[in-house]
Every structure is written in C-alpha cells, then in structure tokens.
Amino acid sequence: MTIVLSSLGPSPGVIPGSKQSKLQEAERVHKSSTRRYARYRTELPLIVKVLGQEGYLRIHGRCFEIAENGLGAVVTSEFRPGEMVSLELSIPKVAELQTLRAVVRHRMGFLHGFEFVGILPDQASQIRTFCRTLPPG
C-alpha cells in the first residue's frame, strides 16, 4: 500500500511541475476520489485498548487524520490488520470521552488505519460535526 502525503509536495528529487510530479498529484487525487468518506487532518491524543494475556493494555498514540468511518494514528505498538481494538479519544467541544470499537485495516510501522465498528448514531454525529470544522486531508 502506498501512502501519499500531499501536504509534503512532490517526493525528494522530483522537480515541481515535472511529468513525474504531475503523475504523483494525479495518483493522489484519484486515490482520494475513490474513498467513501473524506479524510480530515487533525491532531488528537488517543488511547488504544487491546485485550492482552494479563488483561487490557492501554497504548498511547496520536490521531493525525479522521473520517466519518475511521481514523489514522501513530501508535507506539504494532497491531495486526484485522485485530479488534477500542479507541478512546476526546473530540473538541464534546464533553464526554469517546470510546469507539475499531478494526485495524492497515499498518505500516507505527502508522495504523482504524475503521470504526458498530459506531453509535450520537458518536457518528459528533464525529461528522467535528470533521466539518477541519481542513481536508
């Protein structure tokens, strides 16, 4: 899987405006246009809870991207794709801590993509409202 961070511009060694730079931009636009939900850049602390042999483990991380159906985060442990976890995060201007069930969809080092599972209607509404306040990712 290739992750393209558009905010960083072209890859090192790629000349802006060159054919290779334009191909990278086209790939980024195509990839984002095929997503079910838009992604938004953010910076939120989060805790990933997973059941271990001796009970639940709490691992700290940072959410860097959020969408209505999931989020991207840097987490200090490596989770396997398909693994079920609980995510705890505080959404700005929402009083209560959000606890969301999620499945790990992809991992590259400490970068993880989580898809929400069984999200409650109130939680979905709060995430949707928060996303509308953020710049597109």
The per-residue pLDDT for range 82-126, each reduced to its tens digit, is: 999 999 999 998 889 999 999 999 999 999 999 999 999 999 999
CA distances from 15 to 7, 18, 31, 58, 111 (A): 16, 5, 22, 43, 27
Query: 41-131, what's its fold?
Result: Thrombin, subunit H (2.40.10)
Q: What is the pTM of this model?
A: 0.73
Which residues fall within 8 angstroms of residue 51, CB to CB, at 6 or more apart?
57
Q: Check residue 137 and give its pLDDT.
A: 75
Beta-carbon contacts of 105 under 8 Å, excluding residues fewer than 6 positions away, are: 70, 81, 113, 114, 115
**Whole-number Å distance between alpha carbons of 70 and 116:** 5
Model pLDDT for residues 17-71, shown as the tens digit of each residue: 655 554 444 444 434 556 788 999 999 999 999 988 889 999 999 999 999 999 9
Q: Are 131 and 124 in contact (CB under 8 A)?
A: no
Domain boundaries of the chain, sorted by first residue: 1-34, 41-131
* Burial (Cβ within 10 Å: 0-12, 13-18, ≥19) of residue 72: buried
